[in-house]
Structure formats: C-alpha cells, structure tokens
C-alpha cells in the first residue's frame, strides 16, 4: 500500500474480514466493502490482494456493493471463476483488470494500482506518450525501460494478465486509449495462445483503433516442444494450429499493426509509426 | 491436467451421465467380468488413438487374450500403454460430437456439437454456442435432452474442467444417451479445492518425459513456495542451458536466443520467489547433460518481489554441487541478467565467485542484447573446445 500511496494513488479504505475497526498507516479498515462505502462515501474502484480461490467471492462482493472498477492481482485463479466474474461484470457494467495483473499505472495522472513498477516505478516508467498493454507483468517493466533507454516515455502501463479469460483485453484497453490525450501510440506484448492479439488486428483493420500499435508476440520456440502444454501463463497454450505466434504476427501485420521481431525493435517502430 | 478416458468417464458417471459398463485391465492375468463382445481401448492421453491401433474388438476369449497382449505391449503416439479399458459393446442408433471448453473470443465457455461423431470430426460442420455461467441454458438449441445438457454443464463447472469432449456421444436403440468416449482436461489452478483429485503424475500427450523432466517436476511437488521446474522441458540438440524467470520474459528470451543462432537445451521458468534449495535443484537439472557450451540466467531486471540475492545464491550453490557431482570442470561462459530486490548484494556476491566464467549484466543490457552475447560466447566456447579436441 505505501508504494501505491507514495506514487499519488488515494487509498481511502481497506477491507479485510475480521479486521474492521483497525487502521493501517492512517487508512481505516472495514469488514465489508459495503461498510467501507457507507463510511467513506463513493469510491472509484478496488484493488484486490486476496488468494486465488477467494477472488471470486471478493469480486462478487465488490460488484454487489456497486463498484465499477476492480483490479485483481492474484495469479492461478481458476478459469471457471474467471468466467463467472466476467459474466457478473458484463451484467453490471463493471470493469475487471486481471486476474494476474501486475497493476495499472498512469505517469500523468499519478495513479498506481497493484505491484507495477516494483520498488522504484520512476526508474522504469518515465512520463511520455506511449501506452504499454501487456500480458506479462515483467515485460510491462522491460518495455517501460526499453522506451526510457530509447528516449521515449510511458503514458499508461497495464498488465492485463495472461489467463484464458481476461477481464480487460488488449482491445478494451486500446479503445479507451483512443480518447486519451496523453497517449499517441501503444505497445502490446502478447504471447502464444488464445485470440486476444488477433482481435487487435480486427479492430485496427476496421478503423476502430486508429492510434498506431506496435506488437511484440513471444513464444515461437514453443513449437519445438510438446503440444497442449502451458508455458508460464494459463492462456499460453497451443492446441493444434490455434495460438501460434507466427500466425498472430502475420494477421497483425496484414491489419496494419507494426510487428517487432525483438524488444529492441519496439522504439524504432514507434518512432516511424508516429511520424 | 489431461485425464485418461476411464478417469474422465468416472466424472461423467458421477454426474449422472451414462457410460458403458467397463473394467480397467493392467495385466494379462486380470480376470474379465464383462460379457463378450467387448471393445479394448488403450489408455493414452493423445488423440487419434484409433488410427494408431489403440482400439481393438473381441467377440470371444481368444480374440480378447490376443488383443490384451498386443495393447499392453504397445506404444501409441510415443506413450507406453499401461492400462486398457475393456467395455461392453453398445448398440448405436445415432452418433454425435459434443464438447465444452473455454473460448477467448467469447470469454465464456462454449458448447460445440455436431450431428455426426467419430474420428475426422475436425472436418465436419459443427455448431457453437457460448454458455453464460450465470444462466447456462439460455439460448441453447441442441438435439440433446435438457437433462443431459444440464448434467454435462454442471459437471463441467463442478469438476473445474477446461475441456470436456465426448466423441462420440451416442443414442442407443433403447433411446438412452451414452458417452462412449471421454476427453477431460482439468484446471490445475483449481486443484486446492478438489481433494478428490488423486490422479497419477503424467506428462504431455504424445510425449515420453525425459529424465530431466521427471526430476524437475519433483522440485515443485511438496514445496509450494514459488515455482521452479513444473514447466521444465528438454530441447533436443541444444547446447545452452537456460534458467529463466517470469512467464513473458522467458518466452521473449528464448525467442531472442534462437533468433541470434543460440541453441537452448531446455525451457524452464522459475518465479514467485522460490527458496534457495529449489533454485539449486533446478540448476542441477539444467546442467545434468553432455555438451553444454553455455549457461544463461535470464530474467527481468525489474523484478517486483523475487529476492535476487537468495535466488542467485541458490544458483551458485547448485552450480558448485553439480560440478562436483558430474566431476567435470564447468568452464563454459555463464551470462547472468537479473535485477530486483537485493540485486546489488547479489552481484557483489557473484563478483567474489572466481571459479566460473561469469558475465554479469543489468538494465543497460536488453533481453535481446543479452541473448546475442550468450549465443556468441557459447559459439566461441564450442569452437575452442573443438580445436582442443582435434
């Protein structure tokens, strides 16, 4: 929590069942979200640091209490729970980021939710015009660093997680960024498996995403390994022809997305795309 | 985890879905309690079992005895057959294909079915319906009985399955719906809430695990602090041992290494702040093979909470132990690119280690640059080794 507040995030309440009435670094703790909202008034959202098997219950509680923004940091959340949470969020008009999100950070608005940036976010994310949307937490930081080392900076950085069901996918986030005055272009980091990268291609092709997008897609080497194996993230799995990085790259390129062959190519491609 | 057919069928049966009467046979001495004619089905994880000779029919004891011997000695799609499911023959009036799985474009489960089942299903016309977990039967139009659909969908959620495929699902001449086959994949993330999952350890379908892969899997079993080894795979023909951490970074790193002509000898990923002993054990696994020309310790330079001092201490420990154990001098280049909590202490410690050819890198070196350096150093080392030998 100190890492989030010291960056500028306003944390008004904490919720831990059984710990109601206590205070952590000046922030009051409540037993339920409902109690917290009654005491502190309207809040913008919640960041959850609960163990994976308790996430579904916590999200249900947040949605029932009327919250519209939920960031889930836990990894290893069962897929069936993700499906239920996504359906609940759709029904109530709430947004979920994650599970397995490293966090969300805005250099201009000084918002930092979750673990993103580690002990020193300023070292990795310098203010700039590029949004980073990544399935991988560590690659969010690596790309931030790469931008900095190449004279560029970050507007927003978000880890959307690499699970099978993502509360917010690349397209959801890129569509929001279309209206963001601080963002000129975006970098997405994708992996083998699923169809979230392909969807970006569709939206760019249809002209719904107009700001330039540079994509780095990892996992080619996995074709040398047994099929139907999960690599790192839950969604990183190839079944038959589906989910091959090579296929994603081809489709993205055909749709007008600049595809980086290595992390070092991202900055040059961004500079060309923004000209 | 992918289940064998008989394990999947048990889940169906518990959910109220009919399956044929059957029995598991593991030796030729097992006595059979199913009346003839019967079908003999090799229990392997890979698909296309019938095409590979994994399904036989027996109308009498002589055929059965011959069939059992054949199957229990068989290797189907690289998997050695250890169990055979023997089932009664079912009289089939009509066949269907049906499956439930998660789909990233709907971000929901989808039900797929086809009016004809059997092999070659990929090429037939099928219908797909997304399932809303809050109201699973809404909008579904299928040829199936509602009670069967309810049972299947409930079983899918309750079992925390990632896939349930029945091919074929048949209607008998008596009008009964029977699952003749079962392909079920369970969600490993849900394991803590399923005490009943007592399945034997297994590798990927169509894959015969190597010694290293079996050893690596044991590291995480019984010690749940961080992960190290669960995702270990040997890569044939490689000469650069790799210890990578973080899902996305590991993938990016290996792609880069191959891109620069390096040949990784393995994939593995350790993360979530594993203790020293686990990293030491994993180090042993990646190095326990001939012809290693380099070792790459690669991860993000901005780790959030992995204690770099602890993990790299474990690494050095494993390195020294393995060198002693194998009795060969480790003089190949070792490239380390790490950063995060206690990295200064860690690198200070590494600078004091004199017995190895260590190359330390930090945030000034990108993952791709590190890959290039590793590939070049390994190539030079291999060339020098070749010259010395000739």
Average pLDDT over residues B342-365: 95
Q: Given CB atoms, is A19 within the 8 Å cutoff of chain B?
A: no
DSSP conformational letter for A264: G
Do B107 and A76 lie within an 8 Å CB cutoff?
Answer: no
Q: How far apart, in whole angstroms, are the C-alpha atoms of residue A176 and residue B97?
A: 40
Q: Would you say the ipTM is above 0.90?
A: yes
Q: Which of B284, B288, B293 is nearest to B316 (CA)?
A: B284
**Cα–Cα distance list, A191 to A161, A231, B103 (Å):** 11, 10, 16
Residue B130 Cα, gap to closest chain A Cα (Å): 11
Of the listed ranges A257-271, B201-215, B350-364, the one predicted with least confidence: B201-215
> What domains appear along chain B, each with residue ranges and CATH number?
21-88 (3.30.1490.20), 92-193 (3.30.470.20), 211-389 (3.40.50.261)
Q: Could you tell me which chain B residue has the CA closest to the CA of A114?
A: B304
Kind and range of the H or E run holding A133: strand A127-134
Instruction: Locate the chain A residue with the closest alpha carbon to B299.
Output: A138
d(CA B264, CA B386): 19
What is the least distance, in Å, from the CA of A40 to any CA of chain B?
31
Q: How far is it, in rounded angstroms, from Cα B132 to Cα B332?
A: 55
Tell me which of B99, B106, B107, B111 to substitute to probe the interface with A (most A C-beta atoms closer than 10 Å). B107
First vs last C-alpha separation in chain A: 40
CB atoms within 10 A of CB B100: 24
CB-nearest to B233 from A78, A80, A225 is: A225
- One digit per residue, the tens of pLDDT, for chain A of length 275 reads 888 998 999 999 999 999 999 999 999 999 999 999 999 999 999 999 999 999 999 999 999 999 999 999 998 999 999 999 999 999 999 999 999 999 999 999 999 999 898 878 999 999 999 999 999 999 999 999 999 999 999 999 999 999 999 999 999 999 999 999 999 999 999 999 999 999 999 999 999 999 999 999 999 988 878 776 776 676 777 666 668 999 999 999 999 999 999 999 999 999 999 98
Q: Does A138 contact B249 at a Cβ distance shorter than 8 Å?
A: yes
How far apart are the C-alpha atoms of A195 and B16, rounded to whole Å? Answer: 34
pLDDT one-digit tens code per residue, B82-106: 999 999 999 999 999 999 999 999 9
Write the DSSP string, A1-29. Answer: -HHHHHHT-----EE-TT-TT-EETTEEE
Q: Residue B306: closest CA among chain A residues belongs to which residue?
A: A118
- Bridge partner residues of B102 (DSSP): B109
Question: Environment class of residue B321 by beta-carbon count within 10 Å: exposed (0-12), middle (13-18) or buried (19+)?
Answer: middle
Q: Cα(A72)–Cα(B190) distance, rounded to whole angstroms?
A: 17
Mutation pick from A81, A170, A193, A232 vs chain B, by most beta carbons of B within 10 Å, is A232
Q: Measuring CA to CA, which residue among B253, B248, B272 is closest to residue A132?
A: B248
- Which pLDDT score is estimated for B328? 85
Å from A194 to nearest chain B CA?
6
The reported pTM is 0.94
Cα–Cα distance for residue pair B113/B95, rounded to 1 Å = 11
Give the integer Cα–Cα distance in Å for B345 and A66: 47
Closest CA to B203 of A237, A228, A221, A242: A228
Contact (CB, 8 A) for B205 and B229 = no
Considering the domain delimited by A102-275, tell me its CATH architecture.
Answer: 3-Layer(aba) Sandwich (3.40)
Q: Is the pLDDT of residue B323 over 70?
A: yes
Closest CA to A166 of A90, A84, A98: A98
Nearest CA in chain B to A79: B187
Q: Which residues of B fall within a CB distance of 8 Å from A78?
A: 160, 187, 189-190, 193
Q: What is the pLDDT of residues B258-292, one digit of tens each?
A: 999 999 999 998 887 788 888 899 999 999 998 99
Q: Cβ distance A272 to A244 under 8 Å?
A: no
CA angle B216, B220, B222 (to 5 degrees): 130
- Kindly report which listed range (A103-117, B13-27, B297-311, B324-338) carries the lowest average pLDDT score: B297-311
pLDDT in tens, B102-147: 999 999 999 999 987 665 555 667 889 999 999 999 888 898 989 9
pLDDT of residue A243: 80
Name every chain B residue with its beta carbon within 8 A of the beta carbon of A137.
246, 248, 304
Q: Which of A59, A161, A157 is nearest to A108 (CA)?
A: A157
| Contact (CB, 8 A) for A209 and A178 | yes
Nearest to B300 among A91, A141, A194 (CB): A141
Please state whether beta strands A23-24 and A27-30 pair in parallel, antiparallel, or not at all (unpaired): antiparallel
Listed residue (A108, A212, A211, A86) closest to A160, CA to CA: A86
* Contact residues on chain B for A235, CB-CB shorter than 8 A: 104
**Chain-chain contact of A138 with B133 (C-beta, under 8 angstroms):** no
A233 carries an active-site annotation:
yes
Catalytic residue among A233, A245, A251, A257: A233
């Amino acid at each position: 929590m100190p890492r989030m507040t010291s960056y500028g995030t306003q944390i008004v309440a904490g919720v831990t069942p059984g710990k109601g009435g206590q205070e952590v670094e000046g922030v009051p703790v409540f037993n339920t979200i409902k109690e917290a909202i009654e005491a502190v008034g309207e809040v913008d959202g919640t960041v959850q640091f609960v163990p994976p098997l308790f996430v579904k219950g916590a999200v249900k509680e947040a949605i029932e209490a009327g919250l519209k923004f939920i960031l889930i940091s836990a990894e290893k959340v069962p897929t069936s729970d993700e499906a239920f949470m996504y359906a609940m969020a759709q029904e109530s008009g709430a947004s979920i980021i994650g599970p397995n999100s490293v966090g969300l950070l805005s250099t201009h608005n000084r918002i930092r939710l979750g673990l993103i940036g580690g002990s020193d976010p300023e070292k990795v994310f310098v203010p700039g015009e590029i949004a980073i949307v990544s399935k991988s937490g560590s690659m969010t930081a690596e790309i931030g660093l790469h931008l900095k080392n190449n004279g560029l900076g970050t507007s927003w950085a978000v880890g959307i997680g690499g699970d099978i069901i993502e509360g917010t996918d690349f397209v959801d986030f890129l569509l929001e960024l279309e209206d963001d005055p601080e963002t000129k272009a975006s970098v997405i980091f994708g992996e083998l498996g699923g169809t979230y990268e392909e969807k970006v291609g569709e939206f760019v092709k249809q002209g719904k995403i107009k700001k330039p997008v540079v994509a780095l897609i990892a996992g080619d080497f996995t074709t040398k390994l047994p099929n139907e194996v999960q690599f790192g993230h839950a969604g990183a799995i190839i079944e038959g022809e589906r989910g091959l990085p090579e296929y994603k790259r081809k489709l993205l390129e055909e749709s007008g997305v600049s595809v980086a062959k290595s992390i070092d190519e991202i900055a040059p491609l961004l500079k060309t795309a923004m000209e | 985890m992918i289940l064998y057919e008989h394990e999947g069928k048990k889940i169906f049966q518990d959910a109220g879905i009919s399956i044929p009467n059957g029995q598991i046979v593991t030796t030729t001495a097992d006595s059979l309690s199913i009346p003839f004619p019967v079908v003999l089905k090799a229990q392997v994880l890979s698909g296309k079992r019938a095409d590979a000779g994994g399904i036989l029919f027996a109308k009498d004891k002589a055929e059965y005895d011959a069939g059992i011997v054949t199957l229990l000695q068989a290797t189907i799609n690289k998997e050695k057959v250890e169990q055979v499911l023997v089932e009664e023959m079912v009289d089939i009036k009509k066949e269907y294909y049906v499956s439930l799985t998660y789909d990233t474009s709907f971000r929901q489960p989808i039900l797929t079915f086809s009016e004809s089942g059997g092999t070659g299903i990929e090429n037939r016309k099928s219908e797909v319906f997304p399932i809303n977990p809050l109201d699973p039967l809404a909008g579904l139009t299928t040829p199936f009985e509602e009670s069967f659909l309810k049972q299947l969908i409930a079983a899918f959620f309750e079992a925390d399955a990632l896939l349930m495929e029945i091919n074929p699902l048949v209607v008998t001449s008596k009008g009964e719906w029977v699952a003749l086959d079962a392909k079920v994949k369970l969600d490993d993330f849900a394991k803590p809430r399923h005490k009943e999952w007592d399945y034997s350890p297994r590798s990927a379908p169509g894959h015969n695990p190597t010694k290293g892969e079996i050893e690596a899997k044991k590291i995480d079993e019984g010690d749940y602090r961080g992960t190290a080894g669960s995702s270990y795979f040997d890569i044939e023909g490689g000469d650069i041992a790799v210890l990578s951490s973080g899902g996305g970074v590991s993938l990016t790193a290996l792609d880069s290494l191959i891109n620069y002509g390096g040949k990784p000898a393995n994939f593995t990923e350790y993360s979530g702040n594993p203790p020293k002993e686990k990293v030491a054990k994993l180090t042993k696994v990646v190095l326990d093979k001939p012809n290693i020309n380099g070792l790459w310790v690669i991860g993000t330079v901005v780790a959030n909470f992995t204690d770099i001092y602890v993990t790299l201490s474990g690494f050095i420990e494993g390195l020294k132990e393995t060198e002693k154990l194998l009795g060969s001098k480790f003089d190949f280049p070792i490239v380390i690119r790490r950063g995060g909590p206690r990295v200064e202490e860690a690198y200070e410690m590494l600078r004091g280690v004199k017995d190895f050819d260590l190359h330390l890198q930090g945030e000034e070196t990108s993952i791709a640059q590190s890959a290039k350096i590793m590939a070049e150093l390994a190539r030079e080392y291999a060339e020098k080794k070749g010259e010395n030998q000739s």
